[in-house]
Structure 1
Amino acid sequence: MDNTKKFNGKAAIYAKARPSYAPELINHLSYIGIAKDSFVADIGSGTGIFSKTLLEMGCNVYGVEPSEDMRSESKENLGQFATFYPVNGTAEHTTLQAKSVDFITVAQAFHWFDTVRFKMECSRILHDKGKVILVWNSRVMDSPLVQENEQIFRRFCPDFKGFSGGIGYMDEKIKTFFCNFDVHRFQNDLQFNKSKFIERNLSASYSLKENDVEYDSYIKQLNNLFDKYAIDGMLIVPNETIAYIGQI
């Protein structure tokens, strides 16, 4: 499937279920120079979760998103911000003007991109000495809960190749993308009630949908997993926010 279409039909649940990023990351973004009136291209901006963080910092944000479904959701979610500019574009062809942004951010999406072509596009639209920030919310893989969650996906979801947040497989692409970069990790454990936990799983690109044959069995296994590890109706999923920040 075309990567730009993997989240078709999932925009509403994605916006509802996906978590925000560690507050410490926001402090670090300020430290590296993202500030009020900065121009930022948020590439693969989806429903606008990370764009909202930048907008709340006072940035001018180009939310570049190829999915009409996701882009429409971002317009609805971020309509109160006068400095949000939704853009129908891709990572490899943003349609933005040359040397038009101070920073480029990519939250939870770099693994979908053609890395070589995206790097060329970054070079085109970034101001000199501009920085790129790649961000993931990443499950902590040594957690038994996370490991069992992974096994459910492997059993039921043919398109599952591993959690996008478990980004060890991206290391070589990241190294070749940047000319120099730093890695920052911030604890960001996530708390769910049962319905939110199920919605978070359903928001994944590879998740089964309601009309899939094994959907009911899949949901039953996710419910059982929640019941096994939840305490007083709440489940803590070990998670960290990881940011790769550098120049290309």
Structure 2
Amino acid sequence: MDSTTRFSGKAEGYARFRPSYPEAAVEYIRSLGIGPGSTAADIGAGTGLFTHVLAQCGCRVLAVEPNGDMLNACRAYCAGDNNVEYVQARAEETGLDAGSVDAITAAQAFHWFDKPKCRAEFKRILKPGGPVIILWNILRDDGEFASEYKKRNGKYRDEAMIRNDAEDFDAQRREFFGGNFEKTRFDNTQWLTRAEFIGQCLSISYVPKEGESLFETYVAEMGELFDRFQKDGRIELRYMTLVTTGRFPD
């Protein structure tokens, strides 16, 4: 499946149920000089979860997203952010002017990019010395729930996701930046009801969509998982927000 279409039909659930990003991560991004008077391109903006967070820094934000469903959800999610502009384009060919942005961000999206083409495009649109900031909310592998959750979802992964999981991301990012990069970690927690938990599960790119084979089986399986681990009608998801920051050498 083309990476630009695999989230079609999942935008609403993604926007409603995926976790946002902790305030400590926002403060870290501000410390890199991203604020009023600067322009940041949020590449692979999706439904705008991080675009909205980035907009709170006061910078001009260019939300770049190839999937029409996701970009429309981004417009709705960031409707109150007057400093956000929307661009339907791929990471590898943004259409932005050369040297037009002070920083680039990519949240939950970097693994979908064609790295060599994307690197050339990032270097083209980024002002010299500007940071590239890559973020992931990663479910902590610190208990029986996380282990069971990953095991059950793992049965539905497609070839692209298996390949992504097998990649050495440190080596990949070192090659991407042409040298060193920095990693910063922040705690992030989300509490979900049963409906919210199942909704979040259904926003995963590779799980069945409604009407597809195994959809009802998957929903029942995730519902059983929730019932097993819930406390007072909610379940706690503990994440590590990993922020990778790098700059291209001159």
Instruction: Give the TM-score of the pair, scaled to structure 1.
Output: 0.94
Instruction: Classify the secondary structure of the residue corresponding to 2:130.
Output: strand
Per the alignment, residue 69 of structure 2 pairs with 69
Once structures 1 and 2 are overlaid, which stretch shifts more, 172-181 or 130-139? 172-181
Aligned counterparts, 1:75-90, within 5 A: 75-90=75-90
Q: Who is 1:174 aligned against?
A: 173
What's the CA shift for 1:156?
A: 4.1
Q: How many residues align?
A: 247
Partner residue in 2 for 1:130: 130
* Runs of 5+ unmatched residues, structure 2: none
Partner of 2:187: 187
Partner of residue 4, structure 1 = 4
Conservation of the 8 A alpha-carbon contact between 2:156 and 2:206: no
Query: In structure 2, what residue type is equivalent to 1:145?
Result: F
Q: Give the residue type in structure 1 aligned to 2:172.
A: K
Q: RMSD across aligned C-alpha pairs, in angstroms?
A: 1.8
Aligned partner of residue 131 in structure 2, secondary structure: strand
Contact (CA 8 Å) 1:143, 1:238: kept in 2 or not?
no
Structure 2 match to 1:209: 209
In terms of mean alpha carbon deviation, does 4-13 or 208-217 score higher?
A: 208-217
Whole-Å Cα distance in 2 between the matches of residues 128 and 161 of structure 1? 33
CA contact (8 A) 2:34 2:103 kept: yes
Structure 2 Cα separation of the partners of residues 50 and 135 of structure 1: 9
Q: Does the 8 Å CA contact 1:154/1:160 hold for their aligned counterparts?
A: no
Q: What are the ranges of 5 or more consecutive residues in structure 1 without an aligned counterpart?
A: none
- Aligned amino acid, residue 71 of structure 2: R
Match of 1:138, SS? strand
Say whether the 8 Å CA contact 1:43–1:63 is kept in structure 2: yes
Q: Deviations over 1:121-165 (max 9, x none)?
A: 11101111100000000011232211111121123454683697x
What displacement does 1:5 show? 0.7
SS in 1 for 2:129: strand
Write the distance in 1 (CA, Å) between the matches of 2:166 and 2:195: 27
Q: Residue in 2 aligned with 1:229?
A: 229
Residue pair 1:183, 1:245 contacting (<8 A) in 2 also? yes
- What are the Cα deviations for residues 18-45 of structure 1, in whole angstroms up to 9, with x where unaligned? 1101211011111111112320000000
After the TM superposition, which residues 10-49 of structure 1 pair with which residues of structure 2 at under 5 Å, given as runs? 10-49=10-49
Q: TM-score, normalised by structure 2?
A: 0.93
- 1:227 deviation in Å? 1.1
**Structure 1 residue 212: Cα displacement:** 1.9
Which whole-Å CA distance do the structure 1 matches of 2:148 and 2:188 have between them? Answer: 20
The one-letter code of the counterpart of 2:4 is: T
Task: Give the letter for the 1:8 counterpart.
Answer: S
**2:243 is the alignment partner of 1:243:** yes
Q: SS of the residue aligned with 2:94?
A: coil
Letter in 2 for 1:180: N
Q: d(CA) in 1 for partners of 2:31 and 2:147?
A: 35
Give the AA of the match of 1:242: L
Per the TM alignment, residue 190 of structure 1 is displaced from its structure 2 partner at its CA by 1.9
Letter in 1 for 2:145: L
Judged with a 3 Å threshold, the aligned counterparts in structure 2 of structure 1 residues 193 and 223 are, in CA distance, closer, same or farther, namely same
Q: 168-177 or 192-201, which moves further after superposition?
A: 168-177
The CA deviation at 1:167 is 8.8
Q: Is the 8 A contact 1:39 1:61 kept in 2?
A: yes
- The one-letter code of the counterpart of 2:173 is I
Cα distance in structure 2, aligned partners of 1:59 and 1:44: 18
